[in-house]
Amino acid sequence: MKYSYFPGCSAEATGKAYDVSARAVCAKLGIELEELEDWNCCGATSYFSARELLSFAISARNLALAEASGASDLIATCNSCYTVLAKTNKYMSLSPELATEVNEALAQVGRSYKGTVKVRHLAEVLVTDYGLEALAEKVTRRLTGIKVAPYYGCQFTRPMGGDWDDFEFPVTLDKLFEAMGATIVDFPMKTKCCGGMMMLTNADAALKMCHDLLAAVEESGADVVVACCPLCEMNLEAYQPKVNAKYGTSFRIPVLYFTQLAGYALGCDPKDLAIDKQVVPCEAVLAAVPA
């Protein structure tokens, strides 16, 4: 299996551990991830908020690069990158006028995009293409007794993932970790918003969202949260002290990227999963995994 890989800007900074562990998991499974050469920012919510055509154009530059490289599937790990790239892809296919306008822009830099690339989320690829049975067979450290709260956040399936999972109640990560032996807790808030970029522009609103999520995690009895988006992971993990200061709580809940916990189950060395890059210590969770 070979895929083109779009790491996204966070992979170079706050979300470094996601990138490192995603590559480690794929290497372990024999999935070849070829980083899209010279990829640029997907545009994120910022470009959509300021410029419509430009947001599609810079997003489509990535699709054009992938198409020119001969890739059929472009994998994103960040929910937001996935949504922006998949949305650009879909809107260009829905609107021939938009596709023409975007291609006129791309022509200025000697590029074009016909629309042959499929944008996919790594979690979906692991479950759909690699398969749960094959994944279970590769597990060397079964997560028996580990209670996991899969946190999907907003843009995992919303609005682009309706073809492969549910908008409101996705189960891709539930199935993945069940196959690895973990116990999935009931976590009704699993697709509620973490506040995203609002953590900087309206901290009170975002801290309330994180507080409500963390309270729900605590109530669920989970040992660990697994996240599939760098912004979700960052807000839910690194802002726990701020939530505690504001709400008088004492949350100290381990949050890992799903690729970190999956990688551990698959037998990767914790060093190769950047476990030491977490702000809330999570070594106790891994120590609880039966040898």
Partner 1 sequence: MAELTTTQEKKHLHDVFCQDVMSMPEGSKIKQCQQCGACSGSCPTAYLMDHGPREVIAAFRAGMIDEILKGNTIWLCTSCYSCTVRCPAGIKITDLMYELKRLAIKYDLLPQGAKNAAMTKYFMQSVEKHGRNHELELMAKFMLTKDPTLGPKFALMGLKLFAAGRMPLFAKDIQGAAEIRKLTAYVDSKEVAVP
Q: Which residues bind partner 1 (CB under 8 A)?
A: 9-10, 12-17, 38-41, 43-54, 57-58, 61, 83, 90-91, 94-95, 97-98, 105-106, 108-109, 111, 154-155, 158-159, 162, 167-168, 192-193, 195-198, 200-203, 205, 209, 238-239, 241-242, 276-279
Surface-to-core class of residue 126, CB atoms within 10 Å of its CB (0-12 exposed, 13-18 middle, 19+ buried) = buried
CB of 183 to partner 1, least distance (A): 28
CB of 142 to partner 1, least distance (A): 29
Residue 37: which residues within 8 A CB-CB, separation 6 or more? 65, 69
Provide the 8-state DSSP code for 192: S
Distances (CA, A) of 80 to 67, 103, 200: 21, 23, 17
CB of 236 to partner 1, least distance (A): 13
Q: Which is nearer to partner 1, 14 or 183 (CB)?
A: 14
Give the Cα separation of 125 and 275 in Å (integer): 23
Assigned token pair, 142: 């079964």
Nearest CA-CA partner of 86 in 123, 56, 112, 41: 56
Q: Which is nearer to partner 1, 94 or 284 (CB)?
A: 94
Q: Which is nearer to partner 1, 43 or 263 (CB)?
A: 43
Provide the 8-state DSSP code for 191: T
CB of 47 to partner 1, least distance (A): 7
Q: Which is nearer to partner 1, 159 or 188 (CB)?
A: 159
Q: Which is nearer to partner 1, 44 or 261 (CB)?
A: 44
